Structure 1
């Protein structure tokens, strides 16, 4: 964090009554997951194409797939954020990137190929082929026209529907929330989770995220447990957007 950002965050914390303890603990505090982490070989992507590793125009890289074992490539910031949001979403049970590749007849009357950026399977079994690109690029490259043509043609062997995600879906706030959810899944501790669940069981109104950390023996462990509750839908933010220490949370049953 840059010094000016640190100062700004410190002043915002003081204004909101968030008392951060900057003292250095006598011993190192580690995450304490109930199941110890398991590391295995990274399996290759199941995508139909591998983007070039470098580009002067956009992001390139990879992240874990939904199973946490396979590599999943992305070639834009929209793809990167969308992939993380899909991985954290309870509405996605299976995820592939750079797949499927389908043939279609273009406006020129010739046959062309198009590779979708993502493919997801919903809990109800429905399959969705997704193009993930900035809106300006969708329009400029004529991708919307291509997708309409593919939709008219139909691709029942691959998907039940076709969709588009842009920076409106793959935004910074939802990406940050998804990141916290994915980390909390890896660091899940059963005892901390049960303690946090008991703490919020009697909530009838809204409670500030930071207030749920007060009095916790190890605030970091409690924070992970609160995100576990958000992940399960037992807690939800009162307003949409990025969840921070000053966000108001309510029972997911409301």
Structure 2
């Protein structure tokens, strides 16, 4: 029997101040004891902030058997302050992270609906769209996210087909289906990491990175670049943000790590 829904989970919670300057413990477990990078800036502390509450039209039960429910605190795509995004599966979570870094995307609404439509049996029905994406050119894309395993029966595909044909005009310009095969897990991992780091700006180390890059002639690993910044673990966070925000080009494939090679963009 499922436990009762804890409604407190759906309410905005103030994020406590926390130290964000250290290297992850997982790194030391994987590569052994490490000597801390030189840090002239001290610890980085994220100020306490109350994020925008979950904006989805459908309540998500965080206690569900056999499924993944995720509430992620990332920057709102419009207000640029922390907001709680709610996702019904890990595939939704990863696709949401990748969607929010797409420069063509202006706004993302998760769990949008209910959208009325006529089922293939002729009966009226409703559907919640996992992500409704509004692009900068005004185009609206409705995204249905589903693991491939859940498509085998064909029922969901028939429902999407009926939804596309009969949903109200103006709801969306396009309806697309996304599965775990539509993107790289490494790219999704990197996007999630960027969203976490973007929550806490670090202008002092941003400027240090800018100054250091003016002296770096070619390709360099993130580890070596971080050492030159002399900002401890804060340098890694700033370098990751620079990759996504256009100051650095990522040359290595796969997940971003201290061994990733980057190049300054002119």
Q: Distance in 2 between matches of 1:199 and 1:22?
A: 19
TM-score, normalised via structure 2 length: 0.75
Q: Distance in 2 between matches of 1:251 and 1:163?
A: 36
Residues 43, 223 of structure 1: alpha-carbon distance in 2 compared, 3 angstrom cutoff: closer
User: Does structure 1 residue 10 correspond to structure 2 residue 31?
Assistant: yes
Query: Displacement, 1:172?
Result: 3.7
SS in 2 for 1:245: coil
Query: Displacement, 1:230?
Result: 0.9
Structure 1 unaligned blocks of 5 or more: 12-18
Q: Distance in 2 between matches of 1:185 and 1:65?
A: 8
Deviates more, 1:160-169 or 1:195-204: 195-204
Q: Distance in 2 between matches of 1:105 and 1:150?
A: 7
User: Does structure 1 residue 109 correspond to structure 2 residue 119?
Assistant: no
User: Does structure 1 residue 37 correspond to structure 2 residue 50?
Assistant: no
Q: Distance in 1 between matches of 2:70 and 2:192?
A: 16
Q: Distance in 2 between matches of 1:2 and 1:65?
A: 23
Q: Distance in 1 between matches of 2:36 and 2:222?
A: 19
Coordinate RMSD, CA, aligned: 3.3
Q: How does 1:65-104 map to 2 (within 5 A)?
A: 66-67=75-76, 68-104=81-117
User: Does structure 1 residue 60 correspond to structure 2 residue 66?
Assistant: no
SS in 1 for 2:71: strand
Q: Contact 1:81–1:171 at 8 Å: present in 2 too?
A: no
What is the aligned partner in structure 1 of residue 59 from structure 2?
50
Q: How does 1:63-212 map to 2 (within 5 A)?
A: 63-64=72-73, 66-67=75-76, 68-140=81-153, 142-153=155-166, 155-169=168-182, 171-201=184-214, 205-212=218-225
Q: Distance in 2 between matches of 1:85 and 1:51?
A: 21
Query: Displacement, 1:173?
Result: 1.8
Deviations 1:118-175 (A, max 9, x none): 1121222221111122122134353233223333346542222112222234654223
TM-score, normalised via structure 1 length: 0.78
Structure 2 unaligned blocks of 5 or more: 1-23
Aligned residues: 239
Residues 155, 246 of structure 1: alpha-carbon distance in 2 compared, 3 angstrom cutoff: farther
User: Does structure 1 residue 20 correspond to structure 2 residue 41?
Assistant: no
